[in-house]
Structure 1
Amino acid sequence: MKSFRDKRRDGRPHPAKSGAGQPRPPENRSAVKPDARPREQHNVKADSQPAPKSAPRNLARREGALPAEHLPLVLEVAPNADYALLDSGAGQKLEQYGPYRIVRPEGQAIWQKALPARDWERADAIFTGDTDEEGIGRWRFPKTPLG
């Protein structure tokens, strides 16, 4: 949408309307208008003066050995015979640890699952979370008989 422009105020000559006389000359904008409202006098009080700045601190370089750098430990699991990530999606991941298949939450898996539902239903353990935030979580074992 184009912005509204007042044709009377843009300073360009405009074609005369039918029946009108000569276009009027542009207004002289250099004329100074008197200020309609009186300006406030800023009285500076002695109490409102900023406090004097303190002397700059002398920062000296410290001597001695620097502390040892400790990098965080990044845990990585390489694919091997004991572990495999089978599928992920819909906020979960299907993993295999040795002969066991488990389903755990994975917040970064925002895509759809690639494997069919029957592969996910064959999991040996499913992590269901916990009702309180600091709990250890709950596991459900669908293949284990109740009791």
Structure 2
Amino acid sequence: MNCKKIREFIMTDYVDGEAGPELEREIRKHLAGCGGCREFESALQKKVIEPFKNAGKLEAPGIVWDNVREAIAAPEEEPVFIIRRPAFSLALAAVAVILIAIFTMPFFTGPGPVASYIEEQAGFFAYLDNGASGFTNGEDEGLGTVIEEYFL
């Protein structure tokens, strides 16, 4: 193991005596070969563990234990919105999918007949606005401008 992992185990399980025999052997083996981790363990023992070695254990007052028992035995509050029937949740999901499909359909389909008619009319008016004043008779390109039609 690397020093970082060993120091983590020293701070948690090793100093508390909670490390298993195999982990404790591995930590001792590492401490025998690594001076930095050995100093870390020694400083941890002096600064954190030793001051509290002789401290006695305090018993919590009875009211604390009563409150703990009440909190454990108290029934959980049910959530306000919960779907209990799977059929209802499936129907709700189906409705959501259908609504999403309906509202997003215009973005994925081409323009309809009304939109293409409006585009055709807009193109025609743009054609007229650009100075087209001639008429076509279907046989040739057109008779020309209004003045030419007057003289012909």
Bigger-Rg structure (1/2)? 2
Q: Which has the higher helix share?
A: 2
Question: Would you tell me which structure has more strand in proportion to its own residues?
Answer: 1
TM-score (norm 2): 0.21
